[in-house]
Amino acid sequence: MSTRISTAAKLQDPNRQDRRRAETRGRLLAAAKRLLATNGFHGTKIADIAAAADVGTGTFYLYFSTKDALFADLVRETALAAREAMDAAKAAHVDPRRRARVGGETFFRFAAENRDVFKILFGHSAQFDELLREVHQPFIADIEADFAAGVAAGVFRDLPPAFAAQAIVGMLTQVTSWWIDRQDVSIEEISSMTHRLLTQGTAVQGEQP
Amino acid sequence: MSTRISTAAKLQDPNRQDRRRAETRGRLLAAAKRLLATNGFHGTKIADIAAAADVGTGTFYLYFSTKDALFADLVRETALAAREAMDAAKAAHVDPRRRARVGGETFFRFAAENRDVFKILFGHSAQFDELLREVHQPFIADIEADFAAGVAAGVFRDLPPAFAAQAIVGMLTQVTSWWIDRQDVSIEEISSMTHRLLTQGTAVQGEQP
Amino acid sequence: MSTRISTAAKLQDPNRQDRRRAETRGRLLAAAKRLLATNGFHGTKIADIAAAADVGTGTFYLYFSTKDALFADLVRETALAAREAMDAAKAAHVDPRRRARVGGETFFRFAAENRDVFKILFGHSAQFDELLREVHQPFIADIEADFAAGVAAGVFRDLPPAFAAQAIVGMLTQVTSWWIDRQDVSIEEISSMTHRLLTQGTAVQGEQP
Amino acid sequence: MSTRISTAAKLQDPNRQDRRRAETRGRLLAAAKRLLATNGFHGTKIADIAAAADVGTGTFYLYFSTKDALFADLVRETALAAREAMDAAKAAHVDPRRRARVGGETFFRFAAENRDVFKILFGHSAQFDELLREVHQPFIADIEADFAAGVAAGVFRDLPPAFAAQAIVGMLTQVTSWWIDRQDVSIEEISSMTHRLLTQGTAVQGEQP
DNA sequence: TATGAATGAGAATTCATTCAT
DNA sequence: CATGAATGAATTCTCATTCAT
| Residue D117 contacts residue C135 (beta carbons within 8 Å) | no
Q: How far is the CA of A159 from the CAs of A206, B182, D74, in angstroms?
A: 21, 18, 73
Within 7 A of a protein CB, which nucleotides of strand F?
1-21
Residue A10 has pLDDT above 60, yes or no: no
pLDDT tens for A171-181 read 999 999 999 88
D4 interface with B at CB cutoff 8 Å: yes
The residue ranges of every structural domain in chain B are: 1-64, 68-123, 125-209
pLDDT band of B7, cuts 50, 70, 90: very low
For residue A91, which amino acid is it? A
Which residue would you say has higher pLDDT here, D135 or B20? D135
Tell me the average pLDDT of chain B.
89
Percent of chain C with pLDDT over 70: 90
Q: Which of A30-34, B108-112, C126-130, D71-75 has the lowest mean pLDDT?
A: C126-130
E strand segments, D66-187: none
Query: Using CA atoms, how far apart are residues D166 and D143, in angstroms rounded to an integer?
Result: 9
For D27-44, give one letter per residue: b (16+ CB within 10 A) or e.
bbbebbbebbbeebbeeb
Q: What is the full per-residue pLDDT of chain D (209 aa) written as tens digits?
A: 333 334 444 444 567 778 889 999 999 999 999 999 999 888 999 999 999 999 999 999 999 999 999 999 999 999 999 999 999 999 999 999 999 999 999 999 999 999 999 988 887 767 788 888 899 999 999 999 999 999 999 999 999 999 999 999 999 999 999 998 887 899 999 999 999 999 999 998 755 55
Q: How far is the CA of D62 from the CAs of B38, B53, C10, D69, in angstroms?
A: 26, 22, 65, 12
Residues of chain C neighbouring D161 (CB-CB closer than 8 A): none
Strand partners, C203: D156
> Which CATH code fits A18-121?
1.10.357.10
| Residue A70 contacts residue A64 (beta carbons within 8 Å) | yes
pLDDT attached to residue A18: 84
Percent of chain C with pLDDT over 90: 73
Mutation pick from A106, A127, A157, A185 vs chain B, by most beta carbons of B within 10 Å, is A157
| Residue D124 contacts residue C177 (beta carbons within 8 Å) | yes
pLDDT tens for B192-202 read 999 999 999 99
Could you tell me which of A15, A9, A16, A17 has the C-alpha nearest to residue C3?
A9
Which residue would you say has higher pLDDT here, C166 or C15? C166
* Phi and psi angles of residue D183, each rounded to the nearest 5 degrees, phi first: -85, 25
pLDDT attached to residue C205: 72
Tell me the average pLDDT of chain A.
89
- Give pairs for C57-65: CB < 8 Å, separation 24+: C59/C24, C60/C28, C63/C21, C63/C24, C63/C25, C63/C28, C64/C28
Residue C125 has pLDDT above 50, yes or no: yes
Tell me the average pLDDT of chain C.
89
Q: Which of residues 60-99 of A touch strand E (CB under 7 A)?
A: 61-63
pLDDT attached to residue D1: 39
CA C116 remoteness from chain centre: 8
Query: Using CA atoms, how far apart are residues B199 and B204, in angstroms rounded to an integer?
Result: 12
Q: What is the 3-state secondary structure (H, E, C) of D42-92?
A: CCCCHHHHHHHCCCCHHHHHHHCCCHHHHHHHHHHHHHHHHHHHHHHHHHC
Strand (E) or helix (H) holding A64: none
pLDDT attached to residue C12: 56
Residues of chain D neighbouring C40 (CB-CB closer than 8 A): none
B2 interface with D at CB cutoff 8 Å: yes
State the average pLDDT over residues C33-42. Answer: 90
Query: Using CA atoms, how far apart are residues D107 and B170, in angstroms rounded to an integer?
Result: 74
Q: How far is the CA of B53 from the CAs of B56, B57, C169, in angstroms?
A: 9, 10, 54
Mutation pick from B108, B129, B140, B192 vs chain A, by most beta carbons of A within 10 Å, is B108
Residue A165 has pLDDT above 90, yes or no: yes
pLDDT attached to residue C3: 42
* Chain A, nearest residue to B104 by Cα: A191
Polymer length in residues for chain D = 209
pLDDT band of C11, cuts 50, 70, 90: low
| Residue A54 contacts residue A28 (beta carbons within 8 Å) | no
Mutation pick from D1, D4, D12 vs chain B, by most beta carbons of B within 10 Å, is D4
Query: Using CA atoms, how far apart are residues A39 and A45, in angstroms rounded to an integer?
Result: 10
Query: Using CA atoms, how far apart are residues B178 and A39, in angstroms rounded to an integer?
Result: 18
* Chain B, nearest residue to A207 by Cα: B155
State the average pLDDT over residues C149-168. Answer: 96
A11 interface with C at CB cutoff 8 Å: no
Within 7 A of a protein CB, which nucleotides of strand E?
1-21
Please tell me whether any atom of strand E lies within 7 Å of the Cβ of C55: yes
Residue C183 has pLDDT above 80, yes or no: yes
Which CATH architecture is the domain D2-121 placed in?
Answer: Orthogonal Bundle (1.10)
Q: Is domain B1-64 in CATH 3.30.70.120, yes or no?
A: no
Q: Is B131 close to A176, i.e. CB distance below 8 A?
A: no
Between the CA of A110 and the C1' of F21, what is the distance in angstroms? 39
Residue from the list A139, A155, A167 with its beta carbon closest to the beta carbon of B171: A167
State the average pLDDT over residues C119-141. Answer: 85
